[in-house]
Structure 1
Amino acid sequence: METKHKAVVLGNNYYIGLSIIRSLGKHGIPVAVLDYQEEGAYARHSKYVTEKLIGPHYSKEPDKLKDFLISYAKNQDHKPVLYPTADPYVLFIDKYLDELKEFFLINQTEQGFWSDLIDKDKLYVLAQHHGILVPKTIQIKNRPDIVQEVEQELGYPCIIKPSDSSSFVSTFRKKLFKVTNRKELEEGLKKTEEAGIEVVVQQLVQGFDDHMYTFDAYLDQNSKVTHWLTAQKERQYPINFGASVYIKQKYVPELHEIGAPFLEAIGYKGFAEIEFKKDEQTGDYYLIEINVRTTNFNQMLTELGFNMPLLAYRELTGQEIGQNSLKETTDLAFHYMYEDLHASRAYLKSGQLSWKNILKTYTEKRVGSIWAMNDPKPGLYYIGGLADKIRNRLIKR
């Protein structure tokens, strides 16, 4: 395989970045990693990293980061392939896409496309236009009778959900507010207004966390699905409205029937993950969101033969990628143990799961998020970072 182009991975302080590094590095691809600080960036200690860069902050100094990246790319013999590891980096690339794509190889070619899909309001309008079910949503702008409208059209429980998840999470340390009565609705709307964060009030599709499913696909530069598989969540953190901490590959053909035509119709390119929730009463699948960056359980996909970062590298550097789909259930799971411990405690406290439900999953076939015997340094640095946090908390007490 041709490996003369470098891969540049933006963001090294989370296991998604680590997974991308390993997915590429194992195939001899030179991997340069970039973050705005060394502290906490445990992924950059992987043996597969060939170059470590420190650059400006993506939100504090975005113009400088753009110039830094372009300057770096100009000094390379071949255009590097650029990989974002989190939504803030996706939004950064999207903002400067027209400039960056002159010097980097990037899946998406239309500026603003990624941002529109991350924006839940725009995504839902787009999905409805293509006949995809989405949760019923009420905009709160210029609606003085919003509380009455919610009670009449949605009822309780419902959710207060941000248009921009990253700013909401950084402010409130959760993805949304679940509200079960008028008081909670009014308090939630007041908090978001005071924080200056745009939100909507949305229908809560009924069903436990195992009613959450994903359609994971790669689309080539002609916007055709070439690779795909599906999965089912079992536990997430924060519970009920968070990221997967225990998820299994499960074949659900209905998700392909819904997701593939939609992604092709909107002109998607590269890796996409559509999250669906199955209504426990009707059995209908509702589109919840689209992740336009590498999924957090990328390591599981790679183990199953769907190395999405490698597919992007090969296609963007002019190499054949073929086609593949997984039309059977393997039950291979992805497990992020650290956050799952917090999630499990919350599930037990709320009575949603029992110890028996949780412990049996520890005997199942699963792929971890960070630790690897053949690449131990990231795991050791991660454990060291946790130890420092615990020590600092004890000192403060």
Structure 2
Amino acid sequence: MSLLDVRVPAVLLRIDRNPFHHGTLGAVRSLGRAGVEVHVVADSAASPVRSSRFVCRMHPPPPVGASAAEITGTLRRVAAGIARPAVLIPMDDASAVAVGRLRDELTPSYLLPHQPGALPERVADKAELAAVCADADIPHPETLIPDSPAQAAAAAWQLGLPVVAKWSRPWLVPAGTGLRSTVVVHSAQEARELFLRAEEAGSRLLLQAFLPAGHDRDWFFHGYADRSGAVRGGGTGRKQRAWPRTAGLTAVGRWTPNPQVRALAERLTASLGYRGILDLDFRRCGTTGRYHLLDFNPRPGAQFRLFADTAGLDVVRALHLDLTHRPPPDGSPRPGRTFVVENYAPFSALRPTLGGSELAWHAPDDPAPGRAMWGLWALHVLRKMRGRLGGTAPAARPAAARVVRQAGGPHADRAAEPAELTPVTKVTESSDDEKASSC
């Protein structure tokens, strides 16, 4: 008998137009290898995913900036063609938020975890996450949300430059604007200028205290919280290489047991009553040794296949098993295993590891996506190089800034000045497609 119920197909939804999302390919392969019929609703024009032998059919995604009605219409058309209930798996934050909002409209065509529809949106919102961590007593960077350009500049000084700047809802940042979901800000003037682009970004700007990167500091946790609340199919991993360096996606990751990180993840999941797949990012503070939650992604992380155990269980398979009422298999963890994204870490992909490794793109039983990736990636890099020839110089640091210090914050020992800054959200250190370098 197959591990999964092959009578129940799966639909992967990705609204983000990133053609090089290797996590989508990982989900296609994980389910397809188990005999599940896999449909992908995503932009496939320049994606290696479309060439996988495990894709049953590619479907056009909703348009950029689609309304709830348009997303519902797209998914209903796919469901009508499949003609039986399917497991629906959002593969990016925009999809997870939309599916959470539309859960009532999408059932019974789709099988989904039972949880409050607003919860994925709440944890994915970087500003809301600060309050979530405070409620659950999870360490998180001190976070300020300015209401004006002057407050943005003041907040940068208050937190202590450099600081991390994030858009609270990064899935709303439009492509082609030069805006990034997360950047490190080195001057109050940079913070002021970013605030002026909030309308263009589509969400609020928030500033967080910065924690430098370092050896053994970046960690992640992947898991699936089933109907009983038990977390399965994942584990804790250490980010060995990132792209961009120190503040980007995991280019090389290693399955490394970390009881502290696991305990934080399970405590947060239980506190929220969260059900479904989750991908958490942590950074360890070099001074205190505490792990701070930086991001909560309510969907599979791109490197989720790192955590396939000896029975082949990963978070995507755990979801399918749970929603089809099948018990998970008895498997053992495989610590030491590595995951490598070849286009970001090509030399690491050539080095064998003691615990075994999995490549993001190449697979012996599905070689076409790996071959397609290199040709498409070469064109992508060429376009990027051409686009950067006309770059602009960074903004200069202002001569001075005067703010009121926030009592109890990590920089509260600095001299206070009589300027006014009203933090909308604050979480102190006593309470964690781009990841922040913050504390």
TM-score of the aligned structures, taking structure 2 as reference length: 0.77
The partner residue of 2:38 within 26, 31, 43 is: 31
* Residue 129 of structure 1 pairs with residue 135 of structure 2: yes
Number of the residue aligned with 1:349 = none
Show CA shifts across 1:197-226 (max 9, x none).
411111112332641111222211122224
Number of the residue aligned with 2:262 = 256
* Residue 22 of structure 1 pairs with residue 29 of structure 2: yes
Show CA shifts across 1:183-210 (max 9, x none).
3333333344665541111111233264
The partner residue of 2:195 within 182, 189, 194 is: 189
Q: CA deviation at 1:389?
A: 4.4
Gapped regions of structure 1 (runs ≥ 5): 342-357
Task: Please tell me the residue identity of whatever aligns with 1:208.
Answer: G
Question: 2:259, 2:122 → 1: CA distance?
Answer: 27
* Residue 10 of structure 1 pairs with residue 13 of structure 2: yes
Question: 2:34, 2:336 → 1: CA distance?
Answer: 26
Larger helix fraction of residues: 1
Alignment of 1:208-357 (within 5 A): 208=214, 210-302=216-308, 305-321=312-328, 326=333, 330-340=335-345
Q: CA deviation at 1:72?
A: 3.2
**CA spacing shift, 1:379–1:226, aligned 2, 3 Å:** closer
* Residue 180 of structure 1 pairs with residue 186 of structure 2: yes
Q: CA deviation at 1:375?
A: 0.6
* Contact 2:153–2:191 (CA under 8 A) maintained in structure 1: yes
* Residue 53 of structure 1 pairs with residue 44 of structure 2: no
Show CA shifts across 1:257-278 (max 9, x none).
2111220121111221221110
Question: 2:130, 2:184 → 1: CA distance?
Answer: 19
Task: Please tell me the residue identity of whatever aligns with 2:351.
Answer: Y
Question: 1:284, 1:265 → 2: CA distance?
Answer: 20
Task: Please tell me the residue identity of whatever aligns with 2:13.
Answer: L
* Contact 2:213–2:246 (CA under 8 A) maintained in structure 1: no
Number of the residue aligned with 1:377 = 368
* Secondary structure of 1:241's aligned partner: coil
Number of the residue aligned with 1:93 = 99
The partner residue of 1:162 within 156, 160, 167 is: 167
Number of the residue aligned with 1:386 = 377
**CA spacing shift, 1:309–1:181, aligned 2, 3 Å:** same
* Secondary structure of 1:177's aligned partner: strand
* Secondary structure of 2:361's aligned partner: coil
Number of the residue aligned with 1:105 = 111
Show CA shifts across 1:111-131 (max 9, x none).
121111100111110111111
Question: 1:319, 1:386 → 2: CA distance?
Answer: 39
* Contact 2:222–2:300 (CA under 8 A) maintained in structure 1: no
**CA spacing shift, 1:269–1:207, aligned 2, 3 Å:** same
* Residue 67 of structure 1 pairs with residue 73 of structure 2: yes
* Contact 2:232–2:315 (CA under 8 A) maintained in structure 1: no
* Secondary structure of 1:339's aligned partner: coil
Query: How many residues were matched structurally?
Result: 377
Task: Please tell me the residue identity of whatever aligns with 1:166.
Answer: W
Gapped regions of structure 2 (runs ≥ 5): 390-439
Identity of aligned residues (%): 21
Question: 2:223, 2:289 → 1: CA distance?
Answer: 23
* Contact 2:146–2:206 (CA under 8 A) maintained in structure 1: yes
**CA spacing shift, 1:270–1:145, aligned 2, 3 Å:** closer
* Contact 1:9–1:84 (CA under 8 A) maintained in structure 2: yes
The partner residue of 2:84 within 59, 78, 82 is: 78
Give me the CA root mean square deviation.
Answer: 2.9
**CA spacing shift, 1:180–1:209, aligned 2, 3 Å:** farther
- Greater relative contact order (Cα < 8 A, sep 6+): 2
Q: CA deviation at 1:383?
A: 2.5
* Contact 1:24–1:309 (CA under 8 A) maintained in structure 2: yes
